[in-house]
Structure 1
Amino acid sequence: MASHDDGDGCPVLDEYLIRAGCAFGGEDGCIAEARQHALAFLDQAEADYPLSVPARTRDLTQLVVSELVTNACKYAPGPVLVELRISTHVVDVVVWDSDPAVPAARAADPDRIGQHGLEIVKAVTEGLFIEQEPVGKRITARLALPGTPSRATAARSPR
């Protein structure tokens, strides 16, 4: 599987089946719109390619889109760009916003209300890559499709 680094630290697969991008204005309704865009993207991928995206992966993709777009709308002025990419092995969710500050997951705190989004994204993805851009930042979250060894499985496998 050939790959190259497009700058965000996340290897970009040469064999993406389909990619789609969309810009959102950062207003309240854009989060739901971004989730709908993600579902339409996954539907299109299944319709156009011999690919099955299980309900769990669809749900996790929507969750990741929702959390990343929510953070972008909350902390960065201006538009939010979302790109979705899929191969036979992974779904990548890429979100760009205009704030150059690199987010960090906070330490677990069961008494804290809110601000758990990045913790959630890190917990459900195979990788989370953040790159500062000349303007803003780009965050790539990678979700494994079934049949692809997950980080947990790979960590348990004997070498």
Structure 2
Amino acid sequence: MDGAARNGDRLKEALVRVSAEYEGRPGDIARGRELARRFLAQVRAVGGLAVSDRAVDVLQLVVSELLTNACKYAPGPSLVDLQLAEDRVEVTVWDSDPVLPVAERADPGRIGRHGLEIVMAVCQSFEMHREPVGKRMRAAVRLADDLHGTVVGHPS
């Protein structure tokens, strides 16, 4: 295998996963959305995988909602991990609070506290687990899940 092929393999391996730590400071949620946006831009450009515009929006929304909950309800740091897995991105958010969130009943009159409902509605899967310290929430977002059938970034 030549050097160019090895470098290409290393780039693709680097695309598989990205992680970031947040401290619950102003701007962390925006930084989490930017992490998601950059990750999918690399998946499109370097990995050559099809990523719909809707998938970019959904991934940013999921990261934003899960990170907002971590920053709002858990003291201390939180971790966001994005991992490429076949036709989806798995989003994992860890925080220090062991209490698992509960989706509230639908209430169109309620302002706020809809984040978990939204995440569960737009993701391929969602699960949460207590950890020895805190909890982990994991959601899967399809890469080419566009309601209008348009796939953006598909390699030619």
Smaller-chain TM-score bracket:
0.7 to 0.9
Higher RCO (CA-CA < 8 Å; seq separation 6+): 2
Tell whether the 8 Å contact from 2:89 to 2:143 is kept in structure 1 after alignment: yes
Give the number of the structure whose residues are more often helix, by fraction: 2
How many residues of Structure 1 are paired with residues of Structure 2 in the alignment?
133
Query: Which of the residues 30, 33, 43 maps onto 1:32?
Result: 30
Determine if the alignment matches structure 1 residue 45 to structure 2 residue 43.
Answer: yes
The answer for the alignment partner of 1:118 in structure 2 is: 116
CA separation in 2, counterparts of 1:137 and 1:118? 15
Within-5 A mapping of 1:1-159: 18-146=16-144
Larger Rg: 2
Counterpart CA distance in 2 for 1:26 and 1:80 is 8
**C-alpha displacement of 1:145:** 2.7
CA deviation map 1:43-96 (0-9, x unaligned):
112222120211000000000000000000000001110000113311111100
Amino acid at match of 1:136: G
* 1:17/1:88 contact within 8 Å kept: no
Aligned partner letter, 1:91: V
**Distance of 1:47 and 1:88 partners within structure 2:** 16
Matched to 1:101, the amino acid is V
Aligned to 1:4: none
Identity across the alignment (%): 52
Amino acid at match of 2:78: V
SS for the counterpart of 2:83 is strand
Structure 1 residue runs of 4 or more that deviate by more than 3 Å after TM superposition = none
The one-letter amino acid of 1:57's match is A
TM-score (normalised: structure 1): 0.79
SS at match of 1:33: helix
CA distance in 2, matches of 1:79, 1:138: 13
Residue identity in the other structure for 1:97: D
Q: Contact 2:15–2:42 at 8 Å: present in 1 too? A: no
Structure 1 gap segments, 5+ residues each: 1-14, 148-159
